[in-house]
Amino acid sequence: MPDIRPSQTSWEIVDTLKRVWDVRVNYVPIRIAIGRSLLSGDLPSPDAFPADGRSIDTQQILSAGEADYAALYRALIVQRHKRALTDDEFLQLLKAHVDHGFNLIRQDTATFKSTDDWVDYLIELTQTGLEQRKLETPPAPEIVPSFSGLLTLMLGEDAKTGAPVRVEFNRRTNNYLAVAGKPGSGKTQFVKDILAQLRQQSDYKVNFIFFDYSKGDVANDETFVEATRSRVVHLPTESLPFNPFSRVNITSEMSVKMAAQEFSDTVRDVERNLGSIQGQMLYEAIRLAFDNCRVHQPPYPDFYSVRSEVEDAYANNNRKPDTLTEIMRQITEFNIFAPAYLEEQWTTLTDKTVIVDLHELTVLRELTVCLVLDALHRELMAMPDSEVINGARAMRTIIVIDEAHHYLRDKKRNRVLQKLIREIRSKGASVFLLSQSPDDYEQSEFDFAEMLEFIFVLQSSANATKFLQSALGIPAHRARTLVSEVANLKSGEALSKSFEETKQEKVSHVKLRQFWRDFQQ
């Protein structure tokens, strides 16, 4: 995320506010300044505020290690300025609201003489903000029960000694898993075995959603489907009985605006040919669809009603069909998501064990996955943290993404993965990523190796020295020597970080379990 540079005067006020309110970080006063500017109703121009102060990473304002608030801030600023914004325009206006807000705070507080004045001022700002929004209670989220037992997985055996390799899966800080290997290396069979073990050990209480790209090999494995008690949804022959709009709090106008902005941003991130004006038109179409459905049953839109609003907007503005109309046509004509009126509708995702077969879906595969991932993220974040009992976190679900390089290699598409990996661990959820090469995880914007606890590198032709160094905790010269070892691994074998903390050798050579060969019910 790019830096912004508030003016020198703004930084002086930041330092004052940090002192009088006893805060340690810059982004808290900056967020307050943005709120003060938006409350004013003014439309500050970026040209009015010189960028002569210290820089701050925008990520500090929009998340700072917390939930990702980028969609909220964008929705607020788009709504205030009532026009579509490119990414650059959004950042320019964000900075303008920062500087304008600090100017207003300086004027408001010019006569303050004590700390009490500053405290009263902050309370007044908060009260003003609350009075300007509707005080509705959002619907209570559905809480999916979690499995609280210890999950001990058999990974395979040491290739040199034959000793069994086990791991206490839910005792790890980040129980996320990445498997990299070329086709035929055994990565899918390994992950299937792990999932079957998790289902069996948890008495089928730990669920999973598996996005199956590769020829339907997972969806068509009847033994695996039976062993895990999975449901298979073959797209586009069947529809996902799930409406991504159904979990939005329709009684809150702000919730609807935020959801509309998030959906619009997701489509823009995934479908590269969609511009800012089309994104704004989609945002408005989703909002209108929500408004029109409030008196209906069910009281929320689906993609068919959103498509209708998009087509009406294009007709009213004499716009020719383009990327946006084509996306809406495809997502509805291929019946990817079931219409809202159908009787079967999943109200939750985290209590489902389902394999989504994507291999025959020739359009919008990445968008379909991202929309479901966004819904999963929204659902999980509405739930309380799962319990930690004797060091083991209770588990709800596993999100498995086959052919993850479709997302890892794309700067915008991998944002949804970053968001999931950063935020859902405490909710009893895990992410499994399968990709063809360790090179796919070597991204400058996000350190996947740091966040993925279990990394298995199977046979592949890769030169991901930096990733191997980080993933396996070894020096650079050792990582360089492993490149040739990775290329010569046998099918079903992998290099991984040693699971024995007392072992001097940092790297383990493991003969992995394979579902077709090793799993027994």
- Res. 133 pLDDT band, cuts 50 70 90: low
Distance CA 419, CA 145 (A): 23
For residue 315, with 0-12 CB atoms within 10 Å meaning exposed, 13-18 middle and 19 or more buried, which class applies?
A: exposed
Residue 491 has pLDDT above 80, yes or no: yes
Mean pLDDT value across residues 128-152: 70
Mean pLDDT value across residues 375-397: 91
pTM: 0.77
Residue 134 has pLDDT above 50, yes or no: no
For position 92, what pLDDT does the model report?
A: 87
Domain residue limits, the chain: 3-131, 152-241+346-518, 253-333
Answer whether 431's CB lies under 8 Å from 420's CB.
Answer: yes
Residue 47 has pLDDT above 80, yes or no: no
For position 136, what pLDDT does the model report?
A: 45
Residue 361 has pLDDT above 70, yes or no: yes
Of 224-228, 394-398, 471-475, give the lowest mean pLDDT range: 471-475
Percentage of the chain exceeding pLDDT 70: 94
Does residue 127 or residue 93 have the better pLDDT? 93
Across 18-27, 81-90, 233-242, 497-506, which has the greatest mean pLDDT?
233-242
Mean pLDDT value across residues 81-110: 83
- Res. 231 pLDDT band, cuts 50 70 90: very high
**Closest by Cα among 470, 395, 463 to 429:** 395
For position 303, what pLDDT does the model report?
A: 95
CB atoms inside a 10 Å sphere around CB 280:
18
Phi and psi at residue 330, in whole multiples of 5°? -65, -45
- Match 């506010």 to its residue by tokens: 17
Count Cα neighbours of 122 within 13 Å in the Cβ-side half-sphere: 13
**Closest by Cα among 141, 274, 221, 223 to 402:** 221
CB atoms inside a 10 Å sphere around CB 270:
24
Mean pLDDT value across residues 314-342: 93
For position 137, what pLDDT does the model report?
A: 47
**207, 209, 215, 220 alpha-carbon torsion, rounded to 10°:** 40
Answer whether 300's CB lies under 8 Å from 290's CB.
Answer: yes
The two structure tokens encoding residue 459: 């046979």
Mean pLDDT value across residues 116-129: 72
Estimate the share of the chain in helix, then strand, then coil, as percent rounded to the nearest 5: 45, 15, 40
**398, 210, 414, 67 alpha-carbon torsion, rounded to 10°:** -30
CB atoms inside a 10 Å sphere around CB 521:
7
Answer whether 276's CB lies under 8 Å from 86's CB.
Answer: yes
For position 207, what pLDDT does the model report?
A: 97
Does residue 199 or residue 339 have the better pLDDT? 199
**Closest by Cα among 236, 227, 154 to 196:** 227
For position 167, what pLDDT does the model report?
A: 94
- Match 């950042």 to its residue by tokens: 91
For position 130, what pLDDT does the model report?
A: 56
Cβ neighbours of residue 295 closer than 8 Å, sequence gap 6 or more: none
Distance CA 466, CA 474 (A): 10
pLDDT tens-digit readout, 249-290: 887 777 888 889 889 989 988 888 888 899 999 999 999 999
Distance CA 418, CA 413 (A): 9
- Match 């001022």 to its residue by tokens: 121
For position 198, what pLDDT does the model report?
A: 97
DSSP 8-state class, residue 444: S
Ramachandran bin of 452, using left for φ above 0, alpha for ψ from -120 to 50, beta for the remaining angles: beta
Does residue 226 or residue 252 have the better pLDDT? 226
For position 372, what pLDDT does the model report?
A: 94
Across 55-59, 199-203, 482-486, which has the greatest mean pLDDT?
199-203
Q: Does domain 152-241+346-518 have CATH number 3.40.50.620?
A: no
